[in-house]
Structure 1
Amino acid sequence: MKKFLLSVLTVSTILVGCGGGQETGTGQGGSADSLKIIAAHNQTSPDNPYHDGLLKFEEVAESNSDGAIEVEVHAGTLGTEESELVEKLKLGAADVVLVSPGFMSATGIKEVDLFALPYLFESYEHWETVVDGEVGDELATIINEKSNNDFKVLGYWTAGVRHYYGKKPLESIDDLKGMTIRTQTSGVVADYWKQAGAIPTSVAWGELYQALQQNVVDSAENAYPYYIQQNHHKTKNGIYTTETAHDYTTRLLLVNGKKFDSLSDEQKEVLLAAAEASVEAERQSLYEQEEEYKQQAIEDGAQINEIDRTPFIDIATPLNEKAAQNMGIEDLLQKINELK
């Protein structure tokens, strides 16, 4: 992670910029004396890794700036949909946000869907090697350039390993046939679930508990810390979890670079240090919570089983290759595969 953040500081196209109420003072060098940053994620519960990461960002930024930089953290209060947060980032109503590759690709940057490909990563070690290395740097540059400096990547977070959960366990891939599953309804992720036999269905995250309880959807997919916190495993259609491990998720810590690329070097250094600390804090929190919430699910009566993932991977491999070709980033996919 340090390598990535150092490259962010060095390369002008990745320099951090943040909005909010900046007041210019008369200190040495003419740098701003104060800066307020609005940082937001879409999870309504503060007991999750996103919140832990942003609280660490707040702590380090305020401490290292002796209080000159103020960070205001919002847990779902600026929007429970990532599309809302992306729009607020563009408009300047938020300065630091967490988004998934799927929502970023909806802004016209198709290459970011690379990190959403199913079975792209085989372990957390593999994932960290990729996002903290050359591939992560290259994708960050693509995002910055193609967004016309609207978006800059400050770091890569994770939302855990995603698994299937639904009204019945999966004993084989054939059990997915005809089942509705709450997931992305377009793009590579949707294509994958369709080929696996399921029917991708759109349900807002905040409405998913009710949708599972009332049989609106048969199933969903997510990581333990997120759907267990929302008690999805206690719903009629959320009792059974099958550990498909189809996605070691990537989340993007973004800032709006267009507004404030002119921040002082001191401010940039403070914010980059805060970003580095937040990355480490969020990942550690997630890794710990995955086991914690899996055990909670078992104690609550959820049924968890493993499955042979080979048929799932066999579907994903050609889809990933085709997607990378369509995005013009076959070289990045090759680099990821070579790091396994």
Structure 2
Amino acid sequence: MKKFFSISFVLLLALSGILAGCGSDEAGGEAGKKIKIVAAHNQTSPDNPYQTGLLEFKEVAESKSNGDIEVEVHAGTIGTEESELVEKLKLGAADVVLVSPGFMTQTGIKEIDLLAMPYLFDNYEHWEKTVDGEVGEEMAKLINEKSNNDFKLIGYWSAGVRHYYGKKPLEKMEDMKGLTFRTQTSGVVADYWKKVGAIPTSIAWGELYQALQQNVVDSSENSYPYFVQQNHHKTDNGKYITETAHDYTTRFLLVNGKKFDSYSKEQQDIIIEAAEASVKAEREAVYAQEDEYKEKAIDDGAKVNEIDREPFIKLAEPLQEKAAKDMGAEDLLEKIRNLK
């Protein structure tokens, strides 16, 4: 049974040192001054778990502040690409965004790509122990310090467990050889799928339905709530789903660190409380929707099969070790493995 671990430990430890001396009304903001927060994610479906999480963030922030904090939620309306959202956050055009480790590595914080490694996690419990514990705390500090306070992590969200879907089912790992596969085209993730034999291909999320439909790409990967809500399973190149379970995904809920430090201590505390509530709401939505949207895909005619994951896992392990060594994160990898 999926279980929630308290994120207070991570957030308080990661932020306590950062907030000290910069969160008082004298040093960092006027008490009672109204602020507006632009919060954004890249998904356009109103049923997406991201939307559930940010709406919970809005509800808690606005109610706890008695209206002194206004939150404006954007569902893909100021960017459907995570790179756009990261740039807007850095420039101050957005205040809270949701991004993946892969896009964060483009900012030069290479260690966080560790969390995107295929087959790093065994199950949701393993993932939660990782992000809600010591490893999550260390990642939060790395993001803040290496971004020079451009980014401050205030919560770990999930985007579900990712599976292959494409124009044919996978019966064995070798069936991926030569398939164009929509995934990251650089970094640890791309290296892994190249080793499998696939051809990593870059397609914008908003253009993927058409790309699958028009045979531009043979296959893709994502979790049920995300690709089923976009009807990818209704295309010829998306109707076969093989449950590879290669990634229990991590998403970073980030604020603009410099702007955060300008808020009053009371406002900072409310934002952290709203972030904690959003984490719980978003994860609950993901976990519930995975079963719901798997059934919907089957009802719509998609074909689902399981596969022996052991060859995939064995291929991943040495690549994890090499990548961790290259990014100076060997100790973090060991800590994650010890939590299994």
User: Could you say which TM-score interval applies, normalised by the shorter chain?
Assistant: over 0.9
In structure 2, the CA distance between the partners of 1:288 and 1:15, relative to structure 1 (3 Å rule), is farther
Match in the other structure for 1:164: 164
Tell me by how many angstroms 1:106 deviates: 0.9
| Structure 2 residue 282 is matched with structure 1 residue 282 | yes
Shift of 1:128: 0.4
Distance of 1:14 and 1:39 partners within structure 2: 25
The residue aligned with 2:128 is 128
Query: Is 1:250 matched up with 2:277?
Result: no
Q: Alpha-carbon deviation of 1:108?
A: 0.8
Unaligned runs of at least 5 residues, structure 2: 1-6
**Correspondence for 1:20:** none
Letter in 2 for 1:139: M
The total of aligned residue pairs comes to 330
Once the 2 structures are TM-superposed, how far is the Cα of residue 54 of structure 1 from its aligned partner?
0.2
Question: In the TM superposition, what whole-angstrom CA distance separates every residue of 1:253-301 from its partner, at most 9, and x where no partner exists?
Answer: 0001123313211111111110000000000000000000000001001
**Residues in 1 aligned to 2:265 and 2:205: alpha-carbon distance in whole angstroms:** 39
- Match status 1:5 vs 2:11: yes
Partner of 2:102: 102
**Given that residues 16 and 268 in structure 1 are in contact (C-alpha distance below 8 angstroms), is that contact kept between their aligned partners in structure 2?**
no
Instruction: Give unpaired runs (5+ residues) of structure 1.
Output: 18-23
Asked if the contact 1:83–1:103 (Cα under 8 Å) also holds between the matched residues in 2, the reply is yes
Q: What are the residue-to-residue correspondences of 1:1-340 with 2, within 5 Å? A: 1-12=7-18, 30-340=30-340
Tell me the distance in 2 between the aligned counterparts of 1:266 and 1:61.
11
Counterpart Cα distance in 2 of 1:214 and 1:121: 34
- SS in structure 2 at match of 1:11: helix
Q: Using the alignment, how far apart are the partners of 1:213 and 1:159 within structure 2?
A: 24
Provide TM-score, normalisation by structure 2: 0.95
SS in 1 for 2:107: coil
Structure 1 window deviating more from structure 2 (1-10 vs 318-327): it is 1-10
Inter-partner Cα distance in structure 1 for 2:10 and 2:253: 13
Distance in 2 of aligned mates of 1:156 and 1:15: 25
Q: Is the 8 A contact 2:105 2:113 kept in 1?
A: yes
Mapped contact 1:14–1:141 kept (Cα < 8 A): no
C-alpha displacement at 1:6, in angstroms?
1.9
- Go from structure 1 to structure 2 and tell me whether the alpha carbon gap of 1:88 and 1:39 turns closer, same or farther (over 3 Å shift): same
Query: Residue 12 of structure 1: CA displacement?
Result: 1.1
Query: Does the Cα contact within 8 Å between 2:227 and 2:233 map onto a contact in 1?
Result: yes
User: CA 1:252/1:246 → structure 2, altered by over 3 Å: closer, same or farther?
Assistant: same
Q: How high is the sequence identity, in percent, across the aligned residues? A: 72
Query: What is the CA deviation profile of residues 209-249 of structure 1, one whole-angstrom value per residue up to 9, with x for unaligned ones?
Result: 01101111100000000000000000010010000000000
Is the 1:13–1:144 contact (alpha carbons within 8 Å) kept by the matching residues of 2? no
Judge conservation of contact 1:223–1:290 (CA < 8 Å) in 2. yes
Separation of aligned partners in 2, 1:130 and 1:242 = 26
What is the CA–CA distance in structure 2 between the aligned matches of 1:16 and 1:187, rounded to whole Å? 36
RMSD of Structure 2 on Structure 1 (CA): 1.6
**Offset of 1:46 from its aligned partner?**
1.3
1:133-158 CA-partner distances (Å, limit 9, x unpaired): 00000011111111111011001000
